[in-house]
Amino acid sequence: MKTYNDTTYAILGILTTDCTSGYDIKKLIDQSLNHFWKISYGQIYPTLKLLVEEELAEVAPSSEGGRKERNEYSLTEKGVSTLKAWLEEPVQQLPVEKNEILLKLFFGNHQSNQASIRLIEDYRTKLETRYQTYTAIEKSIQEHESASKDAKYWLYTLDYGKRTTKAAINWCEATIKNITEGEDIYE
């Protein structure tokens, strides 16, 4: 079976929901997958074209209700089976996520302790904002979407975000403390 990149599968997956146009796909990703996936129109439209070429989806122009012309995509049999095959496959190797703060900290002996601490403080603030966003989304889902079949899975992904973000926040605190005290707990 031919393989595609993850972005293609993401779109394939979204086309199983009631998001059927490029514009809808963008909106869904920005709203529901934004904490672990993002995408631009520059990728969406060419990918939709590809799906049709590969006979994984079909297009039908629609302009019901006087709305602007709008291309609605729907999965073919082949599209559905391709998606399901991908879902079953275990994930590849864990990717190495590039981390700017760690890169800066790695060269920490070229700056003062104060400067390193400032960097980490700032990073912690950003992480905390993110954490609160996750919590807010979580609450919103529990209140408004808990009927949806997808809600459960959506909450799992948020839980992942919360746990890893929290761990990063804890690291910030521990590291700041460690640098401040000027002694190495690791020794």
Partner DNA sequence: AGAGTCATGTAATGGGTTACATGATTGC
Partner DNA sequence: GCAATCATGTAACCCATTACATGACTCT
Under the binding rule (CB under 7 A), the answer on residue 30 touching DNA is no
Quick one: which of 2, 67, 110, 149 contacts DNA (CB under 7 A)? 67
Q: Which does 18 bind (CB under 5 to 8 A by kind): a copy of itself, DNA, none?
A: none
Under the binding rule (CB under 7 A), the answer on residue 173 touching DNA is no
Handedness of CA 7, 159, 99, 34 (dihedral sign): positive
Closest CA to 35 of 154, 151, 144, 149: 154
Residue 39 near residue 9, CB atoms below 8 Å: no
Under the binding rule (CB under 7 A), the answer on residue 141 touching DNA is no
Quick one: which of 46, 148, 150, 160 contacts DNA (CB under 7 A)? 46
Q: With respect to DNA, which residue has the nearer C-beta, 37 or 177?
A: 37
- Shortest Å, Cβ 114 to DNA: 29
Residue pointed to by tokens 């973000």: 165
Q: At 129, list the tokens.
A: 């904002």
Give 118's Cβ-side CA count (13 Å radius): 5
Quick one: which of 13, 28, 54, 71 contacts DNA (CB under 7 A)? 71
- Shortest Å, Cβ 82 to DNA: 15
Closest CA to 48 of 81, 1, 15: 15
Q: With respect to a copy of itself, which residue has the nearer C-beta, 42 or 66?
A: 42
State the maximum Cα–Cα separation within the chain, in Å, rounded to a whole number: 71
Q: With respect to DNA, which residue has the nearer C-beta, 92 or 109?
A: 92
Under the binding rule (CB under 7 A), the answer on residue 6 touching DNA is yes
Reported residue count of the chain is: 187
